[in-house]
Structure 1
Amino acid sequence: MFVAIAAFYGVQEHFNHVYPYWPYLILLICPLMHFLGHGHGGHAHGDQAETNKDTNGK
């Protein structure tokens, strides 16, 4: 939370310096969200494989 607050005030104070790089920063956010967002209950492929195995065997 501290980093988010510091980033907000840093961008607010130095907006004129950061403004030309907005497209690059937005493109950088996409892979970061992809890599950092997978640990929060994302993909459960193992459970799905077990379910398919049980229903096909009956």
Structure 2
Amino acid sequence: MTLDRRWILFAASLAVIAAFFVLREHWQHALGLAPYLLLLACPLMHLFHGHGGHRHGAGEHGAKTGGLT
């Protein structure tokens, strides 16, 4: 493991530990923000993902080939 990855892993570990203690002390405040974070997630998903995930194969919406002709 390179030195850079070790620092990233160390910083991520510290962030998780800090988030645990902050949420432990301020859980009621965090739950009060949950509905707003859910509403904020919708425009952020459209900003970063868009509507590109709705593609289907051409055969799914076309005429069925096994039916009566």
TM-score by length of 1: 0.43
Instruction: Indicate the structure with greater helix content.
Output: 1
Q: Pick the structure with greater CA Rg.
A: 2
TM-score by length of 2: 0.39
